[in-house]
Every structure is written in C-alpha cells, then in structure tokens.
Amino acid sequence: MNCIVELIFREHLMRASRLLTILMTLQSKGRVTANELAQSCDVSVRSIYRDIETLSGLGIPVYSEQGSNGGYQLLDGYRTQLNGLSKSEAESLFLLGLSEPAESLGLAPAMSEARLKLLAALPKHLRDGAERFHSCFLLDSPAWFTENEKVSYLPQLMSAAWNQQKIEIEYQSWRACKIRTIEPYGLVLKSSIWYLVAKSDHEIKTFKVSRIKQLSVLNQIFEQNANFDLSRYWKDSTEALEKNLYPNSIQLKLTSKGLKLLHYFSSPYVRQHTSVISSSKDGWTHVSLPAGKHNHTLVDILRLGPDAKVIKPESLRNTVKQALSDMIGYY
C-alpha cells in the first residue's frame, strides 16, 4: 500500500463486495438470471450487466445462455478459491479487519462482510490459519491516557473526495472561524487524528477534520491535478512542518541518563538530527540538536532534570536560569 493510511472509499468497497457476492452465488447455485442477481444484490439489472463484464475482464469464465432457462453461469469445474495465495499472504489479508478507520468512515459492516466472503473463498488448508491469525491481533491506536478525537462528516468527506465534488465548510482555525469552499483531495489518519488534504485558494492545504464545524457537499465537480500524489504530498508537508518546528540549533551536555531521557522524550526528527560533538571522561556528552522557540525548548530541557546542562545559546541558558530561579522562589 502506497501511503501511511490507504484511503478506502465506500462505493469502491461496496462494488468489490458485490462482485464477490455474484461470484459466490454463481459458484453455489450454478445458472442464475440477471434479475435474480439484481434482486439479491439490491441493484439494477444494468449494474449486474456491468459487473458481469468486469468479472469477465478479470479472467473469470462467466458465460450466458439465452432462452427461457437461460442465465449466467461459470465454466464447468471453475472454483473461486484463492489458490494462488501463500500462507503468509492469506493471513495478512485478515489484518485488514483490524482497520479501526473503517468504523470511523462508516464502512465497518461492509468490511466485515467482505472479510467473511474472503474467508469463504480461501482453500480449507489456509482458512483456519487465517481466521486464527485475525483473532490474535487488536488495533488500539490512541496513545496511552488519550482517546480518539470526536470527528463528524468523515463519510461525507470520503464520498466528496472520491466523486471529486466541491464542499463548503465552516472551519475553526487558531485565529477565527471561517467559511471556505474547497476541493477535497483525500483523507489521512495520523496518530489517531484525521486530516483532510484539499485545494483552497489555489493552494493544497491540510485541514484538521475535528475543526470542521459544518459541512455541505456542493453540486459542483472539480478536476484534480493528475500529477497529485497523496503519499508524496503528505511526506513532503510533514518534513516541511518538522523543519519549521525546529528552526534553531542548541548545544547540551548530558549524562548517560540524560542521553537516554533525550532519546525517550525527543521526536523522531530531533533524534535523527542530534549529533555528538564530544565525550568526556567525567561521563558527560556534548551534543548538538535542533530546537524550537525558547519557551517550547525550556519545557523539554526541564524534563531532563539535573542530567542536562545548556551550553549554547546564551539566551537559552538565561531562560533556563530565570525559570529555575522563579521555581525556587515558590518553595
């Protein structure tokens, strides 16, 4: 899968589920009419015609017979088993059922149904292992002592992005609440927080879904840039955000315990860009690392306690001294 969070869209998933239903029906009942399939799948006969064409295009040997006893059926001897899968591939399929985002997107019932159909299509020697594999894993994505954000409109956002429909949102930013008309490109789930990537005012921007207070899907279609890649955009914007969060460079001296604490408390970006300048025999290690504004960096340094000394810049040393002086005055 290409991205951090691969988008699952309702229409796409429901059609995939319907194709599996048609395939299982043909396998279990033999010859079936288009009307019977349409009633079973709760769609039009025309949709069934398109689905049969799709199955044929995928190499499934479906053929039709005319007349009063006519209908669609599979070539004699054909079985819709997923025989080409290895044991690990079959087991990995059922990690899809761990997808907590499916529930947020309103896709949990469809996901569950698709999983059951996949299970039925597996050969017996793979079926038991795949089902047991699924029962051994649970996805609980929020960090300890936190919970998922309460978000609204995820199904509507997903549908609008899939159908390339413009939307109007009332969005609460840090500065003010503003009504915007935007073009939704996709959804991203990062650390249990949903983000909407959309074009607004001729720029691609990122919106936090929990800050959308009202939403209306407009009857206006937009053309998405054919070169846009959600994964690449998210990677680039994340890297740019990290650089903006840590525009400064500082130097610290740390004990061995301080080094461990720094590694534990720091972000991956800070850990990646921390370099050792020197180590002394008294156990202190001199390091250089990226940092944010002084008021943010102060909090990070105080977490290290007596196992860290600020070397540079002098302005940060003074900020730490003043904070410690104020704290001592409280006792």
Segment 117-124 shows an average pLDDT of 66
85: pLDDT strictly greater than 70: no
Going from the C-alpha of 183 to that of each of 55, 66, 156, 175, 199, the distances in angstroms are 33, 47, 13, 22, 5
1-5, 130-134, 277-281 — which is least confidently predicted? 1-5
pTM, entire model: 0.60
CA distance 317 to 294: 10
Closest CA to 185 of 170, 169, 205, 155: 205
Q: Look at residue 47 in the predicted model and tell me its pLDDT.
A: 87
Tens-digit pLDDT profile for residues 86-112:
555 555 555 554 556 666 666 666 666
142-156, 205-219, 220-234: which has the minimum mean pLDDT? 142-156
Cα–Cα distance measured from residue 222 to residue 199, given in angstroms and rounded to the nearest whole number? 10
Question: What is the C-alpha to C-alpha distance for residues 150 and 212, in angstroms, rounded to an integer?
Answer: 11
Tell me the domain boundaries of the chain.
10-135, 154-240, 246-328
322: Cα within 13 Å, side-chain hemisphere = 9
Q: Phi/psi at 142 (nearest 5 deg)? A: -60, 150
Give tens-digit pLDDT for 161-170: 989 999 999 9
12, pLDDT greater than 70? no
Q: Judge contact between 155 and 10, C-beta under 8 A.
A: yes
CA distance readout (Å), 97 to 21, 45, 111, 223: 18, 31, 7, 33
At residue 317, does pLDDT exceed 50?
yes
Range scoring the smallest mean pLDDT among 58-72, 129-143, 147-161, 279-293: 129-143
Q: Is 252 exposed, middle or buried (0-12, 13-18, 19+ CB in 10 A)?
A: buried
Q: Which fold has domain 10-135?
A: Arc Repressor Mutant, subunit A (1.10.10)
Answer whether residue 286 shows pLDDT above 90. Answer: yes
Helix, strand, coil % in the chain, rounded to nearest 5: 45, 25, 30
pLDDT computed for residue 103 by the predictor: 65
Give the C-alpha separation, 34 to 53, whole Å.
12
User: In which band, very low, low, confident or very high, does the pLDDT at 258 lie, cut at 50, 70 and 90?
Assistant: very high
- Report helix, strand or coil for 3: coil
Q: Which CATH topology does 246-328 take?
A: Alpha-Beta Plaits (3.30.70)
Query: Strand pairing partners for 193?
Result: 190
CB 260 within 8 A of CB 304: no
For residue 315, what pLDDT is reported? 95
Least confident of 103-112, 272-281, 296-305, 319-328: 103-112
